[in-house]
Structure 1
């Protein structure tokens, strides 16, 4: 009976691990489903199960609550043990995005159609100011990243999003200019932006943290242990559902208004604005000479944004302009692709770095000392080695020192009694 009671939780854990192991393929499948069934997504998007909230907003609320419920207090406490590293990660994750976004705005000014550039810049601005995505934990586990640091960056940017998002929009715009700057200025000064981030992003995360704390001693902790696997699986499926809705909205807009130039521009801009923070975060961590797991955590936190929150905010504020979803969607797809490639790139860099003298396989590393003994003869000459074989140089015999009178005692001469 006990085994039967554990089977549902085991099934949830098995399914969750299987989907997370192939998360990139699952994301592509959700996008393909949005291409095939855009009408179903349109019906879901326009229904109102709760007054003032559409399904994407409710799904975002569920995602933030589940993300907060999964956080363990011990992991959050470990993230605070190194406050300097956490603040540096916040600075890298927020400031670099603003610099990249300012460069994208300058490039958009050169575009011949100002109307197309307007909504592209608005969509990119919304995405760049969003907090670090919760998927950074999933990809970080594959890249063997610093889990407490990644969790601290996700929590800090999420809880501070009611302040950082309007501030980021203000920094990304120039009020004296026209075009997208006026839209961003109005969006940053609007109370609806701060209220949206507080109500639909920060508050559900805090509620999830509190719910985990309250259910700690419920039924001896068995209730939380039984519910947590299913909540994790539900959160993963919820994220894939949001990807499907966003992809269907984008493909539906492309089907209604086929503009290849606008789609190509959105793809190029979204991919560039997403790839540059990834590269900048990795270079910053590399120049700081920090550990490999910390480098992976900073790289993923710099490049991964909560595009679901950006799409929900864009849908609530710019429902009459669906073109704003184009750069958000392509940004999200690019970051998932880069996050899937990040573990392999980091491992490849480790293999290249292991050839240095201080690497694991270098001449001064733990395995390098044995290699140095094998490659060098005792007399200092390099051992001739062919590919795939080892050749030993025989140790020359030690020369014996010449015997002297001080080393070997000489026998005293015996007296000859025959002559006497």
Structure 2
């Protein structure tokens, strides 16, 4: 029964996410209260979305077999290229977006769009890239190595990407952002780096350590329960992240705003996949490796971006709109890139995206 439910959920995850968005727009109250909840924790404030993200990434870490990574590390050029390109995405793509949006009449809408995209593109590679890459016939251990490497480096790459991108699109750059003070604070020691370490890296390492302690046999027995918990957490986090932004946007509908929040992230997402596909042809790699590089470049951890946006831009919930749309659109793009007829199944079911 559990296996059938999980197979259904994996197949219709995009539809389930849309259902969570619809629920958040119609009944935002519980989600807003959960989003605002602060949990007692020494030294640092811990919110409910941060806790959900940590559980999700711990579950993802539990699905990583360290032994599968050893062979990949013997040829590190591919994983290094994938991690490096993914980390450089905000620096490469955001200035072009800022220039193209100069004629847009509402500077406030351009600002929240750029900030939302900056947060998405600065995040590490999504764990869901392994699932989609496997379905497309990619080299799964290579994708997992890139996901793990990108995650472990995120306390450095996330604030660095935010700082560099903020300079490029700020007043001294393209001028897409009039004020980068909050982004500078986010890129500081107590901002994105601390968030990435506490909410992304440590939970993932904890999950990997738990698998090593359990052993492969006991870990395999635990995986069905892990999949079920992971699905529930993904959908709950999806609802909580969407509650504030969609409720406000739907209460005062702005067609131009919705067009901007879907069209631009869609174009950026498509360019990310195209860039990954183009760069994957440079190294002399076989088709599975090229597929892996394409998905690693094209998919970012939008769940982490949404949690970070909720914490630092609660006064501007519209910042979540491009993040939510990007989360959906990268799955649509991944399904387009995936070759039909190639079957596969990930180790932990739906993975963080």
Q: Note whether the superposition's TM-score is higher than 0.5.
A: yes
Indicate how the Cα distance of structure 1 residues 279 and 109 shifts in structure 2: closer, same or farther if over 3 A, else same. Answer: same
Say if 2:223 is the partner of 1:228: yes
Q: What are the equivalent positions in structure 2 for 1:384-399 lying under 5 Å apart?
A: none
CA-to-partner distance for each residue in 1:362-390, whole Å, 9 max, x for gaps?
A: xxxxxxxxxxxxxxxxxxxxxxxxxxxxx
Is the CA contact 2:83–2:146 (under 8 Å) kept in the aligned structure 1? Answer: yes
Q: Structure 2: which 5+ residue stretches go unaligned?
A: 343-353
Measured in 2, the distance between the counterparts of 1:48 and 1:169 equals 26
> Retained in 1: the 8 A contact 2:272–2:298?
yes
TM-score of the aligned structures, taking structure 2 as reference length: 0.87
Which residue of 293, 297, 315 maps to 1:298? 293
Secondary structure at the counterpart of residue 132 of structure 1: coil
Residue of structure 1 in register with 2:38 after alignment: 48
CA gap of 1:326–1:268, structure 2 versus 1, over 3 A, is same
* Greater displacement, 233-242 / 337-346: 337-346
Which residue of 2 is the match for residue 33 of structure 1? 23
Q: Secondary structure at the match of 1:98?
A: helix
Q: TM-score, normalised by structure 1?
A: 0.74
**1:40, 1:317 → 2: CA distance?**
20
Structure 1 segment 268-279 matched on structure 2, within 5 A: 268-279=263-274
Question: What are the residue-to-residue correspondences of 1:12-161 with 2, within 5 Å?
Answer: 12-50=2-40, 52-161=45-154
Alignment partners' CA distance in 2, 1:345 and 1:111: 39
Q: How does 1:252-271 map to 2 (within 5 A)?
A: 252-271=247-266
Matched, 1:164 2:157: yes
Q: Tell whether 2:335 aligns with 1:316.
A: no
Tell me the distance in 2 between the aligned counterparts of 1:224 and 1:276. 38
Report how far residue 148 of structure 1 moved: 0.9
Residues 152-191 of structure 1: CA deviation (Å, up to 9, x unaligned):
1110111110000011012212266361544433322352
Alpha-carbon distance between aligned partners in 2 of 1:54 and 1:184, rounded to the nearest angstrom:
20
Give the CA RMSD over aligned residues.
2.2
Superimposed CA distance per residue, residues 21-53 of structure 1 (whole angstroms, 9 cap, x where no aligned partner): 333333333333333332332233233344532
Q: Higher mean Cα deviation, 106-115 or 123-132?
A: 106-115
| CA distances 1:141-160 after superposition (whole Å, capped 9, x unpaired) | 21121101110111011111
Q: Deviations 1:298-340 (Å, cap 9, x if unpaired)? A: 1111111111101111111111111111111111111011112
8 Å contact kept, 1:296–1:346: no
- Name the residue aligned to 1:208: 207
Deviations 1:261-302 (A, max 9, x none): 222212222111211111111122245563221122111111
Question: Quick check: 1:145–1:296 contact (8 Å CA) kept in 2?
Answer: yes
Instruction: Please state whether the residue corresponding to 1:319 is helix, strand or coil.
Output: coil
- For the 8 Å contact 1:34–1:248, the answer to whether it is kept is yes
Once the 2 structures are TM-superposed, how far is the Cα of residue 198 of structure 1 from its aligned partner? 0.6
- For 1:118 and 1:248, locate their aligned partners in 2 and report how far apart those are by CA, in whole Å: 21
Q: Following the alignment from structure 2 to structure 1, what is the Cα–Cα distance between the partners of residues 93 and 217?
A: 47
CA offsets, 1:390-420, max 9 Å, x none?
A: xxxxxxxxxxxxxxxxxxxxxxxxxxxxxxx
| Alignment coverage as a number of residue pairs | 333
Change (3 A) 1:247 1:346: farther
Greater relative contact order (Cα 8 A, min sep 6): structure 1 or 2? 2
The 8 Å contact of residues 89 and 298 in structure 1, kept in 2 or not, is answered as yes
Does the 8 Å CA contact 1:38/1:248 hold for their aligned counterparts? yes
CA radius of gyration, larger in: 1
C-alpha deviations, 1:78-109, integer Å up to 9, x for none?
32121111112122322244211221122334
Distance 1:37 1:65 in 2: 29
Asked if the contact 1:250/1:329 (under 8 Å) is kept, the reply is: no
Task: Using the TM superposition, give the Cα deviation of residue 127 of structure 1 relative to its aligned residue in structure 2, in angstroms.
Answer: 0.7
Equivalent position of 2:322 in the other structure: 327
Seen in structure 2, the aligned counterparts of structure 1 residues 238 and 57 have a Cα distance that, compared at 3 Å, is same
Please tell me whether the aligned partners of residues 25 and 250 of structure 2 are also in contact (alpha carbons under 8 angstroms).
no
Q: Distance in 2 between matches of 1:248 and 1:32?
A: 9
Quote how far apart the aligned CAs of 1:346 are: 10
Q: SS of the residue aligned with 1:189?
A: coil
- Alignment correspondent of 2:346: none
